[in-house]
Amino acid sequence: MNTGGNLLDRVQASLGAQALETGMAHGILVLQIAPESLAPMVDRLKREFGFDLFLDVTATDWPQRRPRFDVVYHFYSTRDFVRVRLKTRVEEADPTVDTLVPLYGSARYMERECHEMYGIRFRGNDDLRPLLLYEGFVGHPLRKDYPKQKEQPLVPYRDVQP
């Protein structure tokens, strides 16, 4: 028995007022929110509505748009089997959102990846060391203005002997 549809209706009715935009996209409830309402909203999603699994955080870069970045979160309820996507926009000059580490352990690692790939800062996450990249890597490779072919070898290339 799947009660997920009702749950999403309740979430939409209850949290819709704090969201800038709401809608359904391919079975997922999408809430567009302001960065400052992220942490309180996730807290309610977890405690009131049972979205206990934090699946994923990533960002989307829109270089021509202000604010430039979307930070995109996916949550799943292991009781009702439905998903919620939260999207929040941040400026290039201050790409900062609150961390979700106090709510979900898994946020720690995923925020590290999002930070190194897009330069999104997660306020309150004290461990934003490089993860898939290495110490000293300059720039954020998944930003659209980072050239795909750019190389930053950690060990300098050696000359090939003739």
Partner 1 sequence: MSLPPLTTLPNPIRPAFTKGLTPGSVIVNIGPSHPATHGTIQIVAEISGERVVRTDVHCGYLHRGFEKECESHTWHTLIPYVDRLNYCSALINDFAYCEAVEKLMGIELTPRCRHLRTLLAEYSRIADHLTCVAAALMEMGAMTAFLYLVTIRDYVYEHIADLTGARVTHSYGRIGGLARDLPDGWLKRLEEILDQMDTFVDRVHGLVDRNRIFIDRMRDVGVIATAEAINWGFTGPILRSTGAPRDLRKDTPYLSYGELEFEIPVGIKGDNYDRYYVRMREIDESKHMIRQLIDLLQPGPVSVDDRRCTLPDKEAVYTEIEALINHFKLIMDGPQVPAGEAYSAHEGANGELGFYLVSVGGGVPWKVHCRSPSFVHMGGVHKMLDGYQLADLVPTFGSINMIGGECDR
Binding site for partner 1 (CB under 8 A): 25-26, 28, 52-56, 58, 60-61, 72, 74, 76, 78, 81, 83, 85, 104-106, 108-110, 113, 117, 127, 129-136, 141-142, 146, 148, 154-156, 158-159, 161
Min dist CB 156 to partner 1, Å, is 8
Number of neighbouring beta carbons within 10 Å of residue 28: 15
CB-nearer residue toward partner 1: 56 or 92: 56
**Contact assessment for residue 34 and residue 17, using Cβ atoms and an 8 Å cutoff:** no
Min dist CB 104 to partner 1, Å, is 6
Ramachandran quadrant class, 50 (left: phi over 0; alpha: psi -120 to 50; beta: rest): left
CB-nearer residue toward partner 1: 36 or 43: 43
CB-nearer residue toward partner 1: 75 or 97: 75
Residue among 22, 17, 77 nearest 46 (CA):
77
Structural tokens at position 15: 């949290």
**Contact assessment for residue 56 and residue 107, using Cβ atoms and an 8 Å cutoff:** no
CB-nearer residue toward partner 1: 5 or 36: 5
Min dist CB 13 to partner 1, Å, is 22
| Cis bond before residue 67 (omega within 30° of 0) | yes
CA angle 61, 129, 125 (to 5 degrees): 80
Min dist CB 14 to partner 1, Å, is 22
**How far is the first Cα of the chain from the last one, in angstroms, to the nearest whole number?**
71
CB-nearer residue toward partner 1: 3 or 36: 3
Min dist CB 12 to partner 1, Å, is 18
